[in-house]
A and B are shown apart, each in its own frame.
Chain A
Amino acid sequence: MVRVSFTANLQRHVACPPQDVQAGTLRQVLDRAMPSDGPLRGYVLDDQGALRKHVTVFVGPDAVVDRRGLTDAVPDGAEVWVMQALSGG
């Protein structure tokens, strides 16, 4: 399993408690943590499914590489952090 945690700055706008989901690509992990019919997804991904410009994601200590395709691997046991970038405020 993978634990997905969200920045506290996002919790101000939309409910986003930490979630434990199956491992896979980052796309698969985020799809499981943020259902397409829920409000959370639109805060993290844009309407084309890419990571928003001023949102960043870490897989463990490493910043996401493929911000559009989200093909980064998320191994079992990893932690995923959805963070607010310092830019864009």
Chain B
Amino acid sequence: MSDKLWVSTRKGLFELDSTDERWAVSAVHHRGVPVSLTLVDPRDGSLLAALDHGHFGTKLQRSTDGGATWTELAAPRFPKDADASMGAVWALAAGGADQPGRVWLGGIPGGLFCSDDHGATWRFVDSLWQREERSQWFGGGADKPAIHTLLVDPNDSRHVTLGVSCGGVWQTYDDGATWALTATGMRAAYMPPDRAGDARIQDPHAIVACPAAPARLWCQHHNGVFRSDDAGQSWVELSDAAQPSAFGFPVAVHPTDPDTAWFVPAVKDEERIPVGGAVVVSRTRDGGRTFEVLREGLPQTHAYDLVYRHALDIDASGERLAFGSTTGNLFVTHDGGERWQAAHHHLPPIYAVCFG
């Protein structure tokens, strides 16, 4: 099990360590600065933190010594003719083991960037930006569209899946040269009925792929829970089975069991608080036919925690999960969600959580 957590917050990047399943803050990096997302590169353990200064723009900081020292990298820049400027980073992904230095980056307003030198320089992925369908994208969670999910296929590094709020699910099979829109089966309840199935405007809040079975994808969508068994070519809606609601942001999948996934639901889009003021985690272990509601150790009265799309993570064991909330609560389980403990109660609003 992983004994380290990196928690990206409104006021810095918090490092927590576990001893005998008790968690404590061991360091604070970029103290006082909003950190929208942090990537722990599985290839070399390096850290890439996306800072979102309220005044001074988006910045990237990299550490190759576990956070002891940080180096600022050049932030991605939109080309002049793109008629856009760089906003917050909402997605970071390391390339495959066969792509040393490759990092993918996405964010607001829907731009995708690629680096082959660990983020020192960035290439704008114009092939996606030029797609005609992008004219239909719109903001969801932010005023402008955001790329928030980047999944690199563990069996083929040239195959990358991305999620856009609101712009559907996109895939490249040739390392970004061309793109396919693959949101068939998704449903948008926020659109006029005859556009509910329009793949271009779907709002997948988060998408995960099972590492051991990467054709199995799970998606927490704006108005439902979806599963794909064919690497995103088609999607099956499971919203009727989802408990206690089908709305939320994050999703996690078991590393070796593609039928097991976790969600942290909220009431619905216009009421973004836990159902009944009780924080719960929803888990399916049968591919989404049924969902269990897990409550032990979580606050069950007057709790108004919302959990953002990157604020739930699972470690390689599949037993240890962690999630953090807008209220600054950080919860950890060591048994797949049966029992939870509060690792911290008063962190700043939490944007993202990942095991190190």
Whether the Cβ atoms of A50 and B85 lie closer than 8 Å is: yes
Q: Is A61 an interface residue (CB 8 A)?
A: no
Once the chains bind, are A84 and B55 in contact (CB under 8 Å)?
yes
Q: Which of A17-64 contact B (CB under 8 A)?
A: 39, 42-44, 46-48, 50, 52, 54-55
**Contact residues, B85-101 vs A (CB, 8 A):** 85-86
Interface residues on A, range: 10 to 19
| Minimum CB–CB distance for A75 against chain B, Å | 27
Which of B75-83, B185-193, B221-229, B239-247 makes up part of the contact surface? B75-83
Across the interface, B59 reaches (CB within 8 A) one of A10, A42, A88, namely A42
Closest-CB distance, B11 to chain A (whole angstroms) = 11
CA separation between A88 and B85, bound complex, in Å? 17
List A contacts of B174 (CB < 8 A).
none
A residues near B80, Cβ cutoff 8 Å: 48
Q: How far is the CA of A9 from the CA of B33 in the complex (A)?
A: 12
> Do B56 and A43 have beta carbons less than 8 Å apart?
yes
Which residues of chain B are within 8 angstroms of A48 by Cβ–Cβ distance? Answer: 78, 80, 84-85
Give chain B residues whose Cβ lies under 8 Å from the Cβ of A52. 55-57
Q: List 30 A-B contacts (CB under 8 A).
A: A9-B55, A13-B33, A13-B53, A42-B57, A42-B59, A42-B74, A42-B75, A43-B53, A43-B56, A43-B57, A46-B86, A47-B75, A47-B76, A47-B77, A47-B78, A47-B85, A48-B80, A48-B84, A48-B85, A50-B85, A52-B56, A52-B57, A54-B54, A54-B55, A55-B55, A85-B55, A88-B54, A88-B55, A89-B54, A89-B55
B contact residues vs A (CB 8 Å cutoff): 33, 53-57, 59, 72, 74-78, 80, 84-86
